[in-house]
Amino acid sequence: GSFETYINPPDWEGYGKTKSEEQVMILENEAMRQDIWNPELSSFHKLILVKCCKEEKVVVFALTDFVIENLGKQFIETPPVDLATLYQDMAFNTPLIFILSTGSDPMGAFQRFARESGYSERVQSISLGQGQGPIAEKMIKDAMKTGNWVFLQNCHLAVSWMLAMEELIKTFTDPNIVIKDTFRLFLSSMPSNTFPVTVLQNSVKVTNEPPKGLRANIRRAFTEMTPSFFEENILGRKWRQIIFGICFFHAIIQERKKFGPLGWNICYEFNDSDRECALLNLNLYCQEGKIPWDALIYITGEITYGGRVTDTWDQRCLRTVLKKFFSPETLEADYKYSESGIYFAPLADSLQEFRDYIENLPLIDDPEVFGMHENANLAFQYKETNTLINTILEVQPRSSSGGEGKSNDEIVQELVASVRARVLETLEMEGASESLFTKDPQGRLNSLTTVLGQEVDRFNNLLKLIHTSLETLNKAIAGLVVMSEEMEKVYNSFLNNQVPSLWSNTAYPSLKPLGSWVKDLILRTSFVDLWLKRGQPKSFWISGFFFPQGFLTGTLQNHARKYNLPIDELSFKYNVIPAYRDQAAVIEAAKTVKFGQELPMDVELPSPEDGVLVHGMFMDASRWDDKEMVIEDALPGQMNPMLPMVHFEPQQNYEPCPTLYHSPLYKTGARAGTLSTTGHSTNFVVTVLLPSKRSKDYWIAKGSALLCQLNE
């Protein structure tokens, strides 16, 4: 039936159009909670409906309700981890394993528990690493006789000793070995493939997630703070405000992780020791009663925290965020950390007053305190949903059940036939247009033709691999050849609508699912094919390149040759042209337009004297304002609007206007790649300079960037 037969919220009319984000949230909460669903729908049906219509709400609302209804409320609430309770499940032959997660350290809680149990004198702990294995072994053997406790920290750092540890722990259950009843073994380790499975199976396991949310994060810092350090300083109230600023900054940079690539390109492991180090440095430099801001900002931003940050764009972001919470301006009267005015450093003298202020902070953080747009919450919810669904796919059983519908083999065979029919087998350089090979007066070939040749080679490698593997897979399903492990992986990827790793390892970076990936590949090969047959396009689709950096270098090289300039003095000036272009429409138009005729969409386009026209870029955390010709805040719910066409114009010794925002252009939405020798990630293409009426810091905090392609 129609959608209304399944769900009919009381105020569906104009849903999401005229309403503010807050009203939409209330409406959605109502929709998820009330009995406005068709009573015939089971909770699983509701989950499927929400996934189809409002994917980002799956984890936040729908799944929570599903779990409560089917398993019970206790499964969605994190129980407080109490060592006294865990201790009751332990025995001399049952160790306790702390599975570590970023930002949490069980050592403090363990030491408190040991003191309360009267064991503080009888605990031996060692942090494992190179050469520590034999020492730990002796420690355990002695403790088995004396009945003491042993705590082995960071087992994941002693890979080679894990086997020996496993053998030693196996002896605990040996009836011939005498162990004193009071002996206990505690272990801590990050999740690791090398950790012995038998030890895991025979022990109590516990993990303690770091606090979630700004309030919990700052509360943790102030729980560990001593009154003497906080209250007795020559700087008085300024000192307390600065300390609060550092703790707030620490919470912000840890919490930015939840926004995925909008927060940080690479997920960094900032932890409590970074904050302690920053506070100790602060104490050291402020002994005289003066605040050496330049030195403090440099040490905190470039060394204490910046030392962990490897990506150039993340370093820029860290410096910008630090400025907001740790700078001379933060000590001015009425300084607020964000526009809402909820967050600020209180003017108070005692540690307790600060703690009371922290307790009254909002439980749920608004994106604006991070300098983010409200859409950032949607990005976070999409990320949570995708992680969850991918995890479920990875753990589901692979056996095919009998019954109605197509078998797995039939599904895969249909997909194979469809891909083979739609994807080109090879791109031919032979029949290419004559215009590509005209040489300049010095007898040099156009650099972009060289780029085209390299692209053709790269695409042909991929196309050959795809067609060969599909042929083999067909034979394997028919039983003509053995189904190798590699083919099995391709087969399973097809069932899950994922791109086989065999292909993606040879292909360009992409986060698309299989269906969209194949469509995208067809568009890319058509783009190259059109270029081969019709000569250079009027505007280049930057997303269609295997290696867009090569195309940009080729453009600069052409310019350098034309005007006889040194190429290292050239860089691009970016002129935005208020015209939009969809590559699929270009390819469709090319099918109907006779050879040698201009495409209808090319007629209005300017023909630049120098440089190239480029289209196909999407905006992340911003949009383009056609009226003002500047970048502006994104509209609610609009995640990745198109950027109009841009004229990349080479200039010699170009000095850009200081108000332009330096926006990185990435190949995919996951901005991290492997770091290349340039200090940039392999996912980074070029810095595009965009006009803006707002300050650069405004866009940096939002994580605004450009993307060559989206994830759908």
Predicted local distance difference test score (pLDDT) of residue 531? 95
If asked whether residues 257 and 347 sit together in one domain, one would say yes
In a domain, 388, yes or no: no
Q: Which of 32-46, 76-90, 128-142 has the highest mean pLDDT?
A: 128-142
pLDDT the model gives residue 598: 85
Residue 397 included in any domain:
no
Q: What are phi and psi of 500, to 5 degrees?
A: -60, 140
Stretch 155-183: mean pLDDT: 91
| pLDDT tens string 521-531 | 999 999 999 99
Coil/strand/helix, residue 693: coil
For residue 21, pLDDT beyond 50: no
User: Where do runs of H (alpha helix) occur along 505-544?
Assistant: 514-534
Long-range contacts of 382-385 (CB under 8 A, 24+ apart): 382/55, 382/56, 383/258, 383/260, 384/59, 384/60, 385/51, 385/55, 385/56, 385/58, 385/59
**CB within 8 A of 682, min separation 6: which ones?**
509, 673, 674, 675, 676
pLDDT tens-place string over residues 410-461:
999 999 999 999 999 999 998 899 899 999 889 999 999 999 999 999 999 9
What 3-state class would DSSP assign to 269? coil
Q: Which residues contact 619 (CB under 8 A, 6 or more apart)?
A: 631, 634, 640, 641, 642, 643, 704, 706, 707
Residue 399 within a domain: no
Same domain, 309 and 431: no
Asked whether the beta carbons of 370 and 701 are under 8 A apart, the reply is: yes
Same domain, yes or no: 420 and 322: no
Same domain, 278 and 351: yes
Do the domain assignments include residue 2? no
| Residues 456-506: tens digit of each pLDDT | 999 999 999 999 999 999 999 999 999 999 999 999 999 989 999 999 999
Of 89-103, 197-211, 600-614, which has the strongest mean pLDDT?
Answer: 600-614
For residues 164 and 131, the answer to whether their CB atoms sit within 8 Å is: no
Q: Which segments of 214-326 does DSSP mark as H helices, in order?
A: 214-224, 227-231, 237-255, 272-285, 293-298, 312-325
Domain end (from 149, 181, 208) = 208
pLDDT tens by residue, 235-264: 989 999 999 999 999 999 999 998 989 999
CATH number of the domain encompassing residue 647:
3.10.490.20
Supply the range of the domain harboring residue 681. 537-711
The predicted model gives 587-612 an average pLDDT of 88
Q: Is the pLDDT of residue 599 over 90?
A: no
- What percent of the chain shows pLDDT beyond 90? 62
Same domain, residue pair 221 and 160: no
Do 388 and 58 form a contact (C-beta atoms < 8 A)? yes
Does 4 map to a domain? no
The pLDDT score that the predictor gives to residue 17 is 47
pLDDT value for 75: 79
Tell whether 550 and 696 lie within a shared domain: yes
Task: Report the C-alpha gap between 503 and 506 in whole angstroms.
Answer: 6
Q: Three-state DSSP class for 221?
A: helix
pLDDT beyond 70 at 116: yes
Distance CA 314, CA 268 (A): 10
| Residue range 13-17: mean pLDDT, rounded | 48
Q: Could you give the number of structural domains in the chain?
A: 5
Do 169 and 289 belong to one domain? no
Check whether residue 557 and residue 669 sit in a common domain.
yes
495 & 529 share domain: yes
Instruction: Identify the DSSP state of 300.
Output: I
Which residues on neighbouring strands pair with residue 352, listed in sequence order? none
pLDDT of residue 16 exceeding 50: no
Q: Chain-centre distance of CA 162, in angstroms?
A: 32
> Is the pLDDT reported for residue 223 higher than 90?
no
Task: State the chain's mean pLDDT as an integer.
Answer: 88
- The residue type found at 53 is C
